[in-house]
Amino acid sequence: MRILGIETSCDETSAAVVQETGDAAKPWTIRSNVIASQVPIHREWGGVVPELASRQHIRDICGVVERALDEAATSLGDLGAIAVTQGPGLVGSLLIGVSFAKAMAAASGLPLVAVHHLAGHIESLVLQNGEMPLPAVVLVVSGGHTSLYLVEQPGRYRLLSRTRDDAAGEAYDKVAKLLGLGYPGGPVIDRLAQRGDDRAVQLPTTRLTHADRNAPELKGDLDFSFSGLKTAVLRYVRSHPPSGGGSGFSPREIADVAASFQRIVVTVLIERLFDAARRYEAKSVGIAGGVSANSRLRAELQARGAARELPTFLPSLQLSTDNAAMIAAAGLRQFRAGVTAPLDINADASLRL
Ligand code: KG4
Ligand code: ZN
């Protein structure tokens, strides 16, 4: 069976066709995965502007879906279902994909599958590499999320912990902004950090030891927090005048801040992931979401996994940031479990997994 996936939760308009392989170990293959990025539009503003994002989704969605079907040599009659991201995300953006998918399902008579965006990121690991040995602990780390999930059975995701404040990708973007490096910050800091001294700047790590009063299911010690780190970078930048005495930091100084910041973020993410893996006796670990494109994070995951003899899973770079192929994959998983959505579903900006 083939499924059409549609993703519009933030600033990428994406559509994809994913097909079942019949091989239980590697269940899905990508026939097409078209992504229209809005980065050039939002760069001018230093971050995603929700109103501009939803308007651009409207302009792009028809062409993106047509191209995805075209590249997959697939007509509506070849599809078994339509999967769409229902949430979480920007509500105006989500609405475009959800409305489009509902209209297509109504017109074609195809079943509709409503997918949680983070289920998509988790299934990107399976789409890329095949099924993970379970139980697995997966870190979803992006511009909007930093959460650890335990996957005990295929398609069942249990939240273990999450960030109490900023997401890791958000911290990357904010630190890049205060260093004057542009948007999105993750790839730029990643590149500059490779030339910097990661011990040059002393920055704090945060370890939470108490439960969240507003969310008692979050016990504390596996949770994340990045706002203190971001503030520490801000303080450092304000209290250390550039060495040349001029108005700007030298490339060397910026590379040192980038490397020091990246060392802390990656260390925290890897430590928590492997702490959780030990606690829940995981048979594999994975990292998904935009920040999983980070070169140091990828290298440290693989090194730590090899040292512990624990299989590690990563998406390809294209599947790490937002895309519809991962939504199609999660949609196939749900469809095969018998879960479809009625045509009166709505976009849900804070949908729970
Ligand atoms: O998953 P994604 O495309 O969108 C969300 O759902 O948020 O993730 C985007 C985030 C941005 O914050 C971006 O700065 C970050 O992923 N990112 C990176 C890298 N590439 C993208 N962060 C660190 N290193 C990278 N190489
Ligand atoms: Zn995402």
Span 80-106, pLDDT tens digits: 999 999 999 999 999 999 999 999 999
Which ligand 1 atom is the nearest neighbour of the CA of 184? Answer: 14
Q: Return the residue whose CA atom lies nearest to atom 14 of ligand 1.
A: 186
Average pLDDT over residues 206-232: 79
Candidate of 7, 142, 162 to mutate for ligand 1, largest count of ligand atoms within 8 Å of Cβ: 142
Atom of ligand 1 nearest to the CA of 117: 6
335 lines ligand 1 (CB under 6 A): no
Closest CA to 148 of 136, 156, 137: 137
Q: What is the pLDDT of residues 119-129, one digit of tens each?
A: 999 999 999 99
The domains located in the chain, with CATH, are 2-122+320-336 (3.30.420.40), 133-310 (3.30.420.40)
- Ligand 2 centre to CA of 18 (Å) is 18
Ligand nearest to the Cα of 11, by number: 1
Structure tokens at 321: 């940031």
Instruction: List the residue whose alpha carbon is closest to atom 7 of ligand 1.
Output: 143
Taking the model in full, what pTM does it have? Answer: 0.94
What's the pLDDT score for residue 341? 98
Give the residue whose CA is nearest to atom 16 of ligand 1.
290
Atom of ligand 1 at shortest range from CA of 9: 6
Buried b or exposed e, range 104-135, using 16+ CB within 10 angstroms = bbeeeebbbbbbbbbbbbbbbbbbbbebbeeb
Ligand 1 pocket, 293 CB below 6 A?
Answer: yes
d(CA 40, CA 30): 27
Q: Which of 146-155, 160-169, 236-245, 310-319 has the lowest average pLDDT?
A: 236-245
Q: What whole-number distance in Å separates Cα of residue 202 and Cα of residue 337?
A: 49
